[in-house]
């Protein structure tokens, strides 16, 4: 049944899902029209909202480019490559390969979303080199499906925000520690169910042998592996500087000193900046010489085009949703049809819908929190349950929203339509477990 379902969605997505950039344009048109029809904003109002938001994700766009580039470059170093190869060597059959890739990606994304995106895709590529008969599309999809759990994990924007002293809604709900949200029993049970079920769902989606799409391992050899080069005997001062291990050691030492200082002072808080910082300086160290790292980055940067082009358009969509009041309108509607028992479920659904148009976790929290938190208190729903319902809804529909898949697709060399059919099935199955957990499990 799972294979038939995945086959249906794969064919459907291949036929109707356009390039992610066209998808972003279509979403822009749709939100613009909804703003005109539903919020009372005029044409020029919506144009202004769109343009106001257009550049709001510039810093985030650069962070996403760096997570792709530095992660890719780090994995091309000899040591990390050996680790990935060691894990890939555990994969002895196509089914086993899907299970291991899925499991590693889920764990990595729960620890940190940026780490999970990169590690999952890079591991999948190594597995594709080792295992004959594995479908490359499903393998990369399995790696990306791990991203399903990120907002319910240690780097989730919403739970980390309310756990911070002095957050924007502290006067309303107080400080909500992660022991009540991410590390609560109900949330760990939801994550545990997904961790146990989704790898086997992914395995069940394996196409029949005649429909398997393999990739020639030779096509992956020069994409993300160690960059090979020769020197001319380092006869010039410039070449000696380029190949100086001393420069590498000093530069890396400065970075590593800060990394140690950060964890001593901040604890195990993996924000996007510190993850990029770690990837950057560990990558420089492991490549041995400055020029090796430069060339690894030059290879890695080829996959960042989709991020550079599309993220401003998603920022424009987010601006229209936020400034027109459309996101608030959607959230309000779900509040009006909820009661104490159904509110977590409807919060989850509303967050999933809003996520299509505001795919930034922090941006979505800023839009929905002012509506959902007071409504939850009024209905008698624990704040922790409301927070995690929004968090899981935000992560859930990432399975059919190409925005977050761009780094993984850039690493894999695939298009969104190649993997999204499989992701739809994972979204539908996981939605059952998340919904049941939010409705029936106590905080």
pLDDT given for residue 222 in this prediction: 54
The predicted structure's pLDDT at residue 443: 84
pLDDT digits (tens, 9 = 90+) for 74-108: 877 888 888 888 999 999 999 999 999 999 999 98
**pTM recorded for the entire structure:** 0.83
Say if CB 202 and CB 102 are below 8 A apart: yes
What does 7-63 look like in DSSP terms, one character per residue?
HHHHHHHHHH---HHHHHHHHHHHHHHHHHHHS---HHHHHHHHHHHTTTTHHHHHH
CB-CB contact of 131 with 97 (8 Å): yes
With cut-offs at 50, 70 and 90, classify the pLDDT of residue 151. Answer: very high
Could you give the CA distance from residue 204 to residue 382 in angstroms, rounded to a whole number?
Answer: 37
CA 215/CA 20 separation, integer angstroms? 22
Helix (H, G, I), strand (E, B) or coil at 240: helix
- At 323, list the tokens: 């400034």
DSSP calls for 165-192: TT-TTHHHH----TTTTTTSHHHHHHHH
Please give the pLDDT value at position 231: 44
Task: Calculate the alpha carbon distances from 279 to 70, 200, 303, 410, 414 in Å.
Answer: 5, 31, 17, 17, 23
Quick: pLDDT tens for 67-79. Answer: 778 887 887 788 8
Q: What are phi and psi of 153, to 5 degrees?
A: -115, -165
Can you tell me the distance from the alpha carbon of 410 to that of 272, in angstroms, rounded to the nearest whole number?
A: 19
159 by DSSP, 3-state: which?
helix
Q: How far is CA 209 from CA 14, 94, 135, 141, 225, in A?
A: 19, 10, 9, 18, 29
State residue 427's pLDDT score: 97
Joined together, the tokens standing for residue 6 give 């995945």
Q: What is the model's pLDDT at position 270?
A: 63
Q: What is the pLDDT of residue 229?
A: 41
Separation of alpha carbons 365 and 394, rounded Å: 9
Listed in sequence order, the DSSP H helices in 153-288 are 157-162, 170-173, 185-204, 237-242, 245-266, 272-287
Mean pLDDT, to the nearest integer, of 386-408?
91
Q: Which of 227, 250, 349 is nearest to 298 (CA)?
A: 227
Residue 164 has pLDDT above 90, yes or no: no
Check whether 400 has a pLDDT greater than 60: yes
Q: Report the C-alpha gap between 350 and 255 in whole angstroms.
A: 42
d(CA 235, CA 290): 17
Q: Provide the CB-side half-sphere exposure for 237 (13 A, CA).
A: 0
Q: Which residues contact 4 (CB under 8 A, 6 or more apart)?
A: none
DSSP state string for 73-127: HHHTSHHHHHHHHHHHTT--SHHHHHHHHHHHHHHHHHH-HHHHHHHHHHHHHHH
The whole-chain average pLDDT of the chain stands at 89
Tally helices (H) and strands (E) across the chain. 22, 0
Query: Mean per-residue pLDDT for 222-249?
Result: 69
* Mean predicted confidence (pLDDT) in 228-237: 57
Burial 345-376 (b: 16+ CB within 10 A, else e): bbbbbbbbbbbbbbbbbebbbbbbbebbbebb
- What is the token pair recorded at 138? 């499903």
- pLDDT above 90 covers a percentage of the chain that reads 61
Q: What is the Cβ-side half-sphere exposure of residue 376, based on CA atoms within 13 angstroms? A: 25
Question: Is the confidence at residue 269, as pLDDT, over 80?
Answer: no
- Tens-digit pLDDT profile for residues 275-308: 789 989 999 999 999 999 999 898 888 878 888 8
What is the mean pLDDT of the segment spanning 242-270?
Answer: 90
Asked if pLDDT for residue 45 goes beyond 90, the answer is yes
Residue range 407-433, pLDDT digits in tens = 888 888 898 999 999 999 999 999 999
> Domain map of the chain by residue range?
2-225+237-440
pLDDT value at residue 271: 67
User: Is it the case that residue 401 has pLDDT exceeding 80?
Assistant: yes
Report pLDDT digits (tens) over 346-385: 999 999 999 988 877 777 888 889 899 999 999 999 999 9
How many other C-beta atoms can be found within 10 angstroms of the C-beta atom of residue 112? Answer: 21
Q: Is the pLDDT of residue 112 over 70?
A: yes
Reported as a single tens digit per residue, the pLDDT across 305-343 is 888 888 899 889 989 998 999 988 999 999 999 999 999
What Rg, from alpha-carbon coordinates, does the chain have? Answer: 22
Is it the case that residue 403 has pLDDT exceeding 70?
Answer: yes
Q: What is the mean pLDDT of residues 144-161?
A: 90
Please identify which residue in the block is written with the tokens 């399903």.
148
**Could you report the per-residue pLDDT of 198-232, keeping only the tens digit for each?**
999 999 999 999 999 998 877 776 544 444 444 44
């Amino acid at each position: 049944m799972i294979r038939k379902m995945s086959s249906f969605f794969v064919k459907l997505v291949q036929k109707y899902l356009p390039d992610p950039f066209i998808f972003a344009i279509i979403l822009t048109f749709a939100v613009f029209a909804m703003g005109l029809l539903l919020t009372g904003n005029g044409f020029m109002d919506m144009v202004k909202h769109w343009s106001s938001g257009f550049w709001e994700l510039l810093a985030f766009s650069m962070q996403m480019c760096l997570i792709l580039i530095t992660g890719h470059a780090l994995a091309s170093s000899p040591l990390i490559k050996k680790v990935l190869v060691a894990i890939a060597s555990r994969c002895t059959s196509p089914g086993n390969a899907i299970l291991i890739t899925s499991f590693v990606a889920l764990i990595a994304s729960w620890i940190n979303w940026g780490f999970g995106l990169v590690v999952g895709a890079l591991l999948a590529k190594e597995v594709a080199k080792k295992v004959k008969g594995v479908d490359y599309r499903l393998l990369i999809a399995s790696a990306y499906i791990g991203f399903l759990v990120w907002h319910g994990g240690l780097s989730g924007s919403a739970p980390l925000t309310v756990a911070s002293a002095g957050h924007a809604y502290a006067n309303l709900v107080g400080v909500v520690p992660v022991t009540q949200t991410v590390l609560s029993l109900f949330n760990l049970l939801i994550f545990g169910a997904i961790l146990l079920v989704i790898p086997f769902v992914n395995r069940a989606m394996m196409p029949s042998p005649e429909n398997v799409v393999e990739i020639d391992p030779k096509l992956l050899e020069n994409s993300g592996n160690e960059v090979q080069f020769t020197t001319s005997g380092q006869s010039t001062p410039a070449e000696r500087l380029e190949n100086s291990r001393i420069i590498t050691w000093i530069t890396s030492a400065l970075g590593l000193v800060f990394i140690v200082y950060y964890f001593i002072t901040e604890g195990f808080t993996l924000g996007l900046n510190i993850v990029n910082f770690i990837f950057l300086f560990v990558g420089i160290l492991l490549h041995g010489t400055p020029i090796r790292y430069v060339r690894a980055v030059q290879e890695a940067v080829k996959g960042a085009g989709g991020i550079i082009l599309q993220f401003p358009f998603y920022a424009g969509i987010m601006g229209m949703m936020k400034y027109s009041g459309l996101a608030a309108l959607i959230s309000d509607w779900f509040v009006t049809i909820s009661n104490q028992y159904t509110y977590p479920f409807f919060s989850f659904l509303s967050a999933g819908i809003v996520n299509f148009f505001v795919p930034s976790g922090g941006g979505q929290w800023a839009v929905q929190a002012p509506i959902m938190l007071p409504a939850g208190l009024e209905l008698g729903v624990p704040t922790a349950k409301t927070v995690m319902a929004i968090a899981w809804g935000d992560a859930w529909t990432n399975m059919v929203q190409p925005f977050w898949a761009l780094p993984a697709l850039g690493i894999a060399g695939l298009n969104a339509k190649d993997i999204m059919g499989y992701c739809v099935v994972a979204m539908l199955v996981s939605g059952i477990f998340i919904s049941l957990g939010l409705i029936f499990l106590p905080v």
